[in-house]
Structure 1
Amino acid sequence: MYAEERQQAIAQLVTEHGRLSVAAIAAQFDVTTETARRDLSVLERMGLVRRVHGGAVPASSLAVIESGLGERDRANTEEKDLIAKAALEQLPPAGGTVLLDAGSTTGRFASLLPRDHRLTVVTHAVPVAARLVSHPQIELHLLPGRVRTTTQAAVGADTVAAIGALRVDIAFLGTNGLSLTHGLSTPDHDEAAAKRAMVAAARTVVCLADSSKAGSEAAVRFAALDEVDVLVTDSGLAPADRTAFASAGPEVVVA
C-alpha cells in the first residue's frame, strides 16, 4: 500500500470511529508508530483530521476530552523517562530557582532531581510537591489556588498572582498540544493562565513533551514556540518536525 492510500484509509477510519490511536494505526497497517504519527501530521495539514494526545479525531470534532493525570502517566512511559533524564542537563547551577509545572513528564523529572544539588523549587502541582517534600537539598514552595482533580494542580487567580510575583531561573513546563501554528496548548483556560504566568516568570523556558504531542492542538494556547528556549522530546519526533520546531525558536534536545 502506498503512503497516500494508507493515509486515505486512516482518514476514513477516523471519521467512522470518531477517534483512532497511533498504536491502532500502526497495528492495522503494519507500520511503525513514527510512520503513523507522520501520516496523521500529513492528514492534519490537509484538514482531514485533528491530532489529539495519542491519536486523532475528525477535523470537525469540537469536543475536548482532557485525560486525567493517571491515564497520561501510563502513556508513552519509556519516552517520558528518557525525556525526564535528559532534562536534568537543563538544571541551573546549585542555588538556582526553578518552576515545575504539573504533568506526568514533569512529575518524572521531579523524581530524578539529584540529592546533591541545592535548589529552590516552586510548583503548583500537588504530586510534584509530594515527591520533593522529603528532599533535604530542596527548598520547596507550593503555590496557592484551587486544586483541579484532573491534573492535581493549583489554578486560579491566587495561583496566577503568586507566580506573577516571581522571577525564576528556569521553568520546566508540560503541554497537551505542540504545533507550529498553535504553539503550546492545553484544554483548560485556568491551566493555560497558570502556564502562561510561568512562561512570563522565567528567564529560561524548557518544555518537556513526548513526540506524540507533536502536531496536536488543544483549545487554549499558553505560549508561542518562540517563547520556548528548549524543547526536550524523544526520538519518535520526525526529522522534518524536529527541523521545523527548531526553526520556530527553541533548541530541540532529543532524549
Structure 2
Amino acid sequence: MLTSHRKQAILTALKRDGQVIAKSLSEEYGVSEDTIRRDLRELAAEGLLQRVHGGALPSSPAAADFAHREQISTESKSAIARKAAEMILPGQVVIIDGGTTCVQLARHLPATLQATVVTHSPSIAVELVDHPGIEVVMIGGRLFKHSVVAVGAAAIEAINHIRADVYFMGVTGVHPTAGLSTGDLEEAYVKRALVERAAEVVVLASAEKINAASPYVIAQATAANTLVVERDTPEEATAPFAALGIAVLRA
C-alpha cells in the first residue's frame, strides 16, 4: 500500500471509529508501528488528527483563528447559547469564557437579567456594555490574540480572588477519556484556574468539538457538571459523558 493510500485509510478509519490505535493499524496494513507512528506524525502536522498515547483522535477544527471560528456552525452555536442563557439565575456571579459560542451566550442574556459576569474576554465585555442589569468584571493580562482573551500570571492571580456560581467554558475538544482541551498552553492554564473558582462548570460543545482533542489538556471530562450540545447530536456521541455522571443538555 502506498503511503498516501495508507494515510487516507487511517483518516477514514478515524472518521468511522472516532479513534485509531497504532498497533492495530500496523497489523491491519502489514507495516511496522514505527511506520504508522510516522504517518500519524505527518497527519498531525497537517492538522488532520491529534496524536495521543498509542494512537490518534480526531483533531478539532475549532482550533482555527477567532474570525474563522465565527463562521463555523453559527446556528448550532446560537442554539447552544440560548439554552445556556436559560441556566443563569438572577443575582448569580457567572464566569463566561472567551470564544465564539460564549459571545453568542452574552448576546442571548435576557435584558431583564440582574447578574455579575466575570470574563477574561474583551469580546464578551463589549457585548455586555449596553446590558442594563449586568455588572461586568474584567480579568486582565496579556492579550492572546488568537482567541481574544487575557492569559498569563496576572490573569490567574486575579482569578484566584473570585468565587463564582457557574463557569461557562468554551473548549476546542471534549472527549470522555482525553478530557477537555484547547489549542494553547497558557489558555489551558487560565481555563483550569477558572474551573477551580466555580461551583458548577458548564461546557458549551458544538458538534465539531465532541470526541475531538487538542494539544493542551484543561481538565478531565468529569470537571464538567453539564455539557450543552446541539439537539440532534447522536446519542452514541453523548452516552460516554452521561456514563461519567455529566448531565447532557440538548439545545
TM-score tier by shorter-chain length is: 0.7 to 0.9
Q: Secondary structure at the match of 2:86?
A: helix
Q: Which residue of 2 aligns with 1:163?
A: 159
Task: Report 1:98-247 matches (<5 A).
Answer: 98-247=94-243
Q: Which residue of 2 aligns with 1:28?
A: none
TM-superposed CA distance for 1:215, in Å, is 1.5
Identify if the C-alpha distance between structure 1 residues 43 and 124 changes in structure 2 by more than 3 Å, giving closer, same or farther. closer
Rounded Cα–Cα distance in structure 1 between residues aligned with 2:153 and 2:16 = 36
Matched, 1:69 2:66: yes
* CA distances 1:16-47 after superposition (whole Å, capped 9, x unpaired): 599x8xxxx9xxxxxxxxxxxx9616051445
For structure 1, list consecutive stretches of 5 or more residues without a partner in the other structure. Answer: 1-11, 26-37
Identify if the C-alpha distance between structure 1 residues 175 and 113 changes in structure 2 by more than 3 Å, giving closer, same or farther. same
Rounded Cα–Cα distance in structure 2 between residues aligned with 1:41 and 1:175 = 23
Aligned-residue CA RMSD in angstroms? 3.0
Rounded Cα–Cα distance in structure 2 between residues aligned with 1:217 and 1:68 = 16
Q: Secondary structure at the match of 1:90?
A: coil
Rounded Cα–Cα distance in structure 1 between residues aligned with 2:5 and 2:90 = 52
Rounded Cα–Cα distance in structure 1 between residues aligned with 2:50 and 2:214 = 14
Identify if the C-alpha distance between structure 1 residues 237 and 45 changes in structure 2 by more than 3 Å, giving closer, same or farther. farther
Identify if the C-alpha distance between structure 1 residues 41 and 221 changes in structure 2 by more than 3 Å, giving closer, same or farther. farther
Q: Which residue of 1 aligns with 2:19?
A: 44
* CA distances 1:142-187 after superposition (whole Å, capped 9, x unpaired): 1110011101100000101111111000100000111111110011
Identify if the C-alpha distance between structure 1 residues 45 and 114 changes in structure 2 by more than 3 Å, giving closer, same or farther. same
Q: Aligned AA for 1:44?
A: Q
TM-superposed CA distance for 1:73, in Å, is 1.0
TM normalised by structure 2 equals 0.80
TM normalised by structure 1 equals 0.79
Rounded Cα–Cα distance in structure 2 between residues aligned with 1:223 and 1:208 = 15
For structure 2, list consecutive stretches of 5 or more residues without a partner in the other structure. Answer: 26-39
Rounded Cα–Cα distance in structure 2 between residues aligned with 1:196 and 1:120 = 21
Moved over 6 A (4+): 48-52
Q: Which residue of 2 aligns with 1:90?
A: 87
CA contact (8 A) 2:50 2:213 kept: no
Q: Aligned AA for 1:109?
A: L
Identify if the C-alpha distance between structure 1 residues 85 and 161 changes in structure 2 by more than 3 Å, giving closer, same or farther. same
Q: Aligned AA for 1:149?
A: K
Q: Which residue of 2 aligns with 1:29?
A: none
Identify if the C-alpha distance between structure 1 residues 174 and 41 changes in structure 2 by more than 3 Å, giving closer, same or farther. farther
Percent of aligned pairs sharing the same letter = 32
Identify if the C-alpha distance between structure 1 residues 238 and 41 changes in structure 2 by more than 3 Å, giving closer, same or farther. farther
Higher alpha-carbon Rg: 2
Tell me the matched-pair count. 224
Task: Report 1:11-26 matches (<5 A).
Answer: 15=7
CA contact (8 A) 2:14 2:20 kept: no
Identify if the C-alpha distance between structure 1 residues 134 and 215 changes in structure 2 by more than 3 Å, giving closer, same or farther. same
TM-superposed CA distance for 1:15, in Å, is 2.5
Q: Secondary structure at the match of 1:83?
A: helix
Q: Secondary structure at the match of 2:19?
A: helix
Q: Which residue of 1 aligns with 2:29?
A: none
